[in-house]
Structure 1
């Protein structure tokens, strides 16, 4: 049985949303962050050698990494419904935003958080520039397409969604300068699968859609 191990207020919420969008059966196990340092509890860290979210188990399989998990679930359980084929006109855009999510967008934000944790008075200029470009590109994309992958919701949206919503609980950007992102999040927030996912993954916490 597929089990999604969700660390509260983390990127593993993506996997809950994915399962709800695909309408597949899965078990969900919630883990609360530690009170002293807000990191994952030892129980969660023991699931995978990296000790970070997300993690799924499927029989004897233990799998980490958001992108790998998304592809695994979509291919094994979803019939690749959220992955455009090579002949689809949206194929390349889907691939770009699917990989851009963690390889660039989230990495930029993490560099800023690390700088702050080391006592930097402000984000280093080269990091701030990369962050600004990433948000500007994201806003521009959502002004030209309804979804990151193009015409339809794809795994690219599953990956990017967390960056634009719950991750802002760690000090992310205001949406005021990004009207296309704000409009996109309102569309996402109306999806029944997203509503179900957030109610299960973050009970009592309103989704960060504004």
Structure 2
């Protein structure tokens, strides 16, 4: 049975969702973030040297990094499901979104989180200085980047119903976390009707809901 080392409120929720979409049996091994730092617990270091989640174990095979896990599961178990036919334009879009989700979409979202949290964590004497620097970084660099990405997502969903074409694929699973995190910290869903519809559709999928039951509390749902 596949084992999923799953951290709450993390990108590994997508792995549980994919497993549910594929109808595979799996075991969830849960880890909880530190309530103060929001960091993963040291116990994850015993699973992977970087102490990150998700990590899956499939017999003697261990795979880390969400995109790599998704590719492994699709290659091993999907029998062509949840991905477009190879060699098509949709397949090229699928590959793009599969890698874009982590490679381009997540860095500005992470910067938004970091700079938003810095002032409250700074020592009292330097708090005003840190607040000013953080605000400048957000307004001059991070927020414009996020507006560009959100506009791109909204526009691309105007080309087809899903990110890689008119059929739901694992690219939509990969893009779920950036869009959910973006709705939490980068855009108002009401102002982005296509992204709002995307979120409503994925949240209504039975496999998504089953994954939530298995994974536990998830702030972005």
Deviation sequence 1:38-86 (CA, Å, 0-9, x none): 2111112321111111111112222211100000011112223122232
1:138 paired residue number: 153
Structure 1 segments of 4+ aligned residues over 6 angstroms from their partners? none
Structure 2: runs of 5 or more not aligned: 119-129
Q: 1:168 to 1:111 in 2, by over 3 A?
A: same
Q: Distance in 2 between matches of 1:170 and 1:45?
A: 29
Q: Distance in 2 between matches of 1:98 and 1:2?
A: 22
Deviation at 1:191, TM superposition (A): 1.1
Q: Distance in 2 between matches of 1:157 and 1:30?
A: 24
Q: Secondary structure of the residue that 2:135 maps to in structure 1?
A: coil
Q: Secondary structure of the residue that 2:43 maps to in structure 1?
A: helix
Aligned counterparts, 1:15-34, within 5 A: 15-34=15-34
Asked if 2 retains the 8 angstrom alpha-carbon contact of 1:94 and 1:156, the reply is yes
1:3 paired residue number: 3
Asked if 1:59 corresponds to 2:73, the answer is no
Asked if 1:162 corresponds to 2:177, the answer is yes
1:13 paired residue number: 13
2:123 paired residue number: none
How does the TM-score come out when normalised to structure 2? 0.85
Q: Distance in 1 between matches of 2:197 and 2:74?
A: 26
Name which of structure 1's ranges 110-119 and 28-37 shifts more when overlaid on structure 2. Answer: 110-119
Asked if 1:69 corresponds to 2:69, the answer is yes
Q: 1:169 to 1:49 in 2, by over 3 A?
A: farther
Which structure carries more helix by proportion? 2
How does the TM-score come out when normalised to structure 1? 0.89
Asked if 1:121 corresponds to 2:135, the answer is yes
Q: CA RMSD in A?
A: 2.0
Deviation at 1:206, TM superposition (A): 7.3
Name which of structure 1's ranges 133-142 and 84-93 shifts more when overlaid on structure 2. Answer: 84-93
1:112 paired residue number: 112
Asked if 1:42 corresponds to 2:42, the answer is yes
- Greater Rg over alpha carbons, structure: 2
Asked if 1 retains the 8 angstrom alpha-carbon contact of 2:146 and 2:186, the reply is no
Name which of structure 1's ranges 187-196 and 12-21 shifts more when overlaid on structure 2. Answer: 187-196
1:95 paired residue number: 95
Deviation at 1:6, TM superposition (A): 1.0
Q: Distance in 1 between matches of 2:183 and 2:190?
A: 16
User: What is the count of residue pairs matched by the alignment?
Assistant: 206
